[in-house]
């Protein structure tokens, strides 16, 4: 779910994109008015398309940055000694068995080799 800050930031980025596109269209119109040949008019059109693409790229970059900020903000709220360790627990497969107990040869959390489900 989007946070309010992210929604507002995304809306601002989209609005800026629309403004940039309108600027590009106005610049194209001005360039076409000054252009004397068909090629110059085509160049003006291609410039507008490039500027529109650049505006869309900036908008998507901004949205990705806002999502990353939100995700980064969520991860800062975890409390504990280290990321991935919540208190006294050890990561799976790193537990040291007590002395005198044989360590299993099959993967922890799985079934031993040769085990089949009964039907």
Q: Does some domain include residue 8?
A: yes
Asked whether residue 102 is assigned to any structural domain, the reply reads no
3-state secondary structure of 9: helix
The Cα 118–Cα 111 span in angstroms is 13
Q: What is the mean pLDDT of residues 111-116?
A: 68
pLDDT of the residue at 59: 93
In a domain, 11, yes or no: yes
Does residue 31 have a pLDDT over 80?
Answer: yes
Per-residue pLDDT, averaged over 100-118, amounts to 64
Give a yes or no: residue 40 inside a domain.
yes
Tokens of residue 11, six digits: 């809306």
pLDDT in tens, 32-77: 999 999 999 999 999 999 999 999 999 999 999 988 888 887 766 5
pTM: 0.56
> What pLDDT shows up at residue 44?
95
How many domains is the chain built from?
A: 1
Residue 9 lies in a domain: yes
With respect to residue 54, please indicate whether it lies within any of the assigned structural domains. yes
Residue that has been written with the tokens 């050890």 in this structure: 90
The whole-number pLDDT of residue 109 equals 61
Structural domain for 31, as ranges: 4-75
pLDDT computed for residue 118 by the predictor: 74
Q: Does residue 2 carry a pLDDT above 90?
A: no
């Amino acid at each position: 779910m989007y946070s309010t800050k992210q929604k507002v930031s995304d809306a601002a980025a989209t609005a800026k994109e629309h403004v940039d596109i309108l600027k590009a269209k106005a610049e194209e119109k001005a360039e076409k008015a000054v252009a004397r040949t068909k090629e110059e008019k085509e160049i003006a059109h291609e410039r507008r398309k490039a500027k529109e693409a650049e505006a869309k790229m900036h908008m998507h970059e901004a949205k990705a940055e806002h999502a990353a900020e939100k995700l980064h903000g969520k991860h800062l709220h975890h409390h504990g000694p280290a990321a991935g360790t919540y208190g006294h627990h050890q990561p799976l497969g790193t537990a040291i068995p007590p002395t005198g107990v044989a360590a299993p040869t099959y993967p922890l959390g799985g079934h031993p080799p040769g085990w089949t489900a009964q039907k």
